[in-house]
C-alpha cells in the first residue's frame, strides 16, 4: 500500500536524482528501466533526511532490540553513519556503528573494520541501499563472522526490487532470509514505485517498461 511516508520517500529520492528512469545495467547484468543510486546523495540535508527514514523504520521494526549497526563499504558507510545519528537525535537510541574497508590496512591499528569493534554475542543490524541479486550480502557475512561470533537478524534497505535471485521462483531477499536467517526490511518496494508513477499519470513509457521488467524478473506478493 502506498502510504504518505512512502510517497515522501519516492519524491525525496527523485528530487535527489537517486531514483532514475531510463535504461541501466544492474550489478547482476540485467537491463532495468529504473535505478536507485544512493551514491547520488550529496548534501547534508539529503543524508540527514535519508538517515531519518532508515532510523524510523528501524525503531518501528525492532525498537531497541539490537546492539550495533554495520554498513558495508562503500555505499553502506554514509547510510549507517546517518542512521546512527538519526536514531540518537530523533529516537534517543545511541547505538554503536561500524563499517569495513575494502582493503585491509597494514599500518597503524590495522584490520579491516572502522568504528565499533563487534564482540561475541552482538546482535548486528545491517544497513544497505538495495538488494538485487544478493551478491553484496554474501560478501558481507564472512566479514562479520570473521570479526566476532555475532548474529544478524535484521537488514534494512531503501528499495526491495523483488527480483529473482540465483534460484528460480525465489527473490534474492527470500534467498538471503533462508541462507542467513536475516529478515530484510525495506522503506519501499518496486510495487510502491510502480503505483506512485501510475498515480502521477504521465509515465506511460516507464510504466510499460517496468511492467515488462517486473514480469520477467520480479516475484510480487
Instruction: Give a yes or no: residue 221 inside a domain.
Output: no
Instruction: Give a yes or no: residue 220 inside a domain.
Output: no
Q: Which residues are known catalytic residues?
A: 105, 107
Q: State the average pLDDT over residues 144-159.
A: 95
Cell 554474501, residue located: 138
- 144/152 Cα distance (integer angstroms): 9
- 176/184 Cα distance (integer angstroms): 8
Neighbours of 110 (CB within 10 A): 8
Confidence band for 108, pLDDT divided at 50, 70 and 90: very low
- The residue ranking higher by pLDDT, 136 or 45, is 45
CATH number at residue 83: 3.40.50.2020
Cell 558507510, residue located: 77
pTM of the predicted protein model:
0.91
- 128/186 Cα distance (integer angstroms): 10
* Bridge partner residues of 212 (DSSP): none
Mean pLDDT, rounded, of the chain = 91
**pLDDT of 201:** 87
Instruction: Give a yes or no: residue 108 inside a domain.
Output: no
**pLDDT of 221:** 67
Amino acid at each position: 500500500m502506498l502510504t504518505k511516508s512512502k510517497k515522501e520517500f519516492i519524491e525525496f529520492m527523485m528530487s535527489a536524482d537517486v531514483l532514475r528512469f531510463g535504461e541501466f545495467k544492474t550489478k547482476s547484468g540485467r537491463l532495468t528501466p529504473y535505478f536507485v543510486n544512493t551514491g547520488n546523495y550529496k548534501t547534508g540535508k539529503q543524508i540527514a533526511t535519508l538517515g531519518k527514514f532508515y532510523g524510523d523504520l528501524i525503531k518501528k521494526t525492532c525498537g531497541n532490540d539490537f546492539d550495533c549497526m554495520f554498513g558495508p563499504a562503500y555505499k553502506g558507510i554514509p547510510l549507517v553513519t546517518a542512521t546512527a545519528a538519526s536514531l540518537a537525535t530523533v529516537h534517543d537510541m545511541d547505538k554503536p556503528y561500524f563499517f569495513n574497508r575494502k582493503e585491509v590496512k597494514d599500518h597503524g591499528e590495522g584490520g579491516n573494520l572502522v568504528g565499533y569493534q563487534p564482540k561475541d554475542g552482538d546482535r548486528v543490524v545491517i544497513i544497505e541501499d538495495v538488494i538485487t541479486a544478493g551478491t553484496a550480502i554474501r560478501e558481507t557475512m564472512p566479514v562479520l563472522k570473521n570479526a566476532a561470533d555475532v548474529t544478524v537478524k535484521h537488514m534494512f534497505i531503501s528499495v526491495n526490487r523483488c527480483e529473482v535471485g540465483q534460484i528460480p521462483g525465489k527473490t534474492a531477499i527470500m534467498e538471503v532470509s533462508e541462507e542467513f536467517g536475516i529478515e530484510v526490511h525495506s522503506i519501499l518496494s518496486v510495487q510502491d514505485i510502480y503505483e506512485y508513477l501510475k498515480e502521477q499519470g504521465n509515465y506511460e513509457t516507464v510504466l510499460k517498461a517496468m511492467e515488462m521488467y517486473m514480469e520477467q524478473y520480479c516475484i510480487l506478493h
